[in-house]
């Protein structure tokens, strides 16, 4: 019987597949991720993690620049008259990487401390 050894993937934490899923499910997820350009994004993530994050400067805005995504606002941002009280901003897609990054890039522009509440599955990312 032919035994296939799975290829080593860079940054396995950046996959929706996990070891607890059936082999066919993992294969399907990895296939879709591969066809969707995962390797390109893994290389960009590696660059971002090594070169951008250590600077601490606009890390989420820089991430959007790396993947060539622009955020268009229908209103002025940051708001001119933002109260000096706690602010809650919600990205409405529970596994949304893109919308989460976009929201975080907007929050960076406020120029004030912020905290992030994140889905537990995304905490695998280091």
pLDDT in tens, 93-125: 655 677 778 888 988 998 888 777 766 655 555
The span from the CA of 108 to the CA of 118, in Å, is 16
pTM above 0.75, yes or no: no
pLDDT in tens, 61-72: 999 999 999 988
Structural tokens at position 58: 């606009």
Listed in order, strand segments (DSSP E) in the chain are none
Structural tokens at position 35: 């066809």
């Amino acid at each position: 019987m032919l035994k296939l050894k799975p290829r080593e993937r860079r940054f396995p934490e950046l996959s929706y597949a996990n070891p607890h899923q059936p082999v066919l499910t993992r294969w399907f997820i990895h296939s879709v991720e591969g066809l969707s350009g995962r390797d390109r994004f893994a290389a960009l993530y590696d660059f971002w993690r090594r070169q951008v994050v250590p600077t601490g400067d606009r890390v989420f805005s820089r991430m959007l620049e790396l993947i060539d995504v622009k955020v268009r606002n229908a209103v002025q941002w940051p708001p001119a008259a933002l109260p000096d009280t706690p602010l809650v901003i919600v990205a409405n897609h529970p596994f949304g990487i893109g919308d989460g990054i976009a929201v975080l890039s907007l929050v960076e522009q406020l120029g004030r401390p912020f905290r992030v509440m994140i889905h537990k599955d995304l905490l695998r990312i280091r």
